[in-house]
Amino acid sequence: MRTRSKRARHCPICHGRMRRHGRNRSGTQRWMCPSCSITSTARRQDRARAAQLREFPDWPLTGRTREQMGAMGARAWRKRVGWCWNIKPAITPDGVVHHTLMADGTYMAHGWCLLIAIDGQTGQVIDRQWCHQENTAACTALSSRIPGPDVLITDGL
């Protein structure tokens, strides 16, 4: 007997496990419940989200307006890719001891300050720390994740 997929869908009527039942005209996997014979297709949310995440940076980088981004209009595009604004990018420290490290803060809107540690030779961002102002606690939190450099350049604390 054929084994069912680990990713098998569940029937919306009897809640049993469905089995694969070919593909539809557009190539989407069809599923069939063996007990109640209902068939359905299920969209892969991970593929849809991956496509939206690839489309999201095109708006600021290509210079196109939101109206030009999709055929559905600006409001629908904003709703579709709105979840992308909640992604917090992470910079993982590489663990390499840098000869020169520059640290400085940039004040943003709403009272936030972004401390950035930059490699003095390559200009690459090593790590960052959000804080309410440049102070010793924020700089300590930033430097605790980075191996100690030979030379640290700051504008003072």
75-108 pLDDT, tens digit each: 888 888 889 989 888 888 788 899 999 999 999 9
Average pLDDT, the chain: 86
- pLDDT lower than 70: segments of the chain: 1-6, 156-157
pLDDT at 129: 92
pLDDT at 118: 93
Contacts 24+ apart (CB under 8 A), 5-13: 9/40, 9/42, 11/35, 11/36, 11/38, 12/38, 12/40, 13/38
Partnered with residue 129 across adjacent β-strands are 115
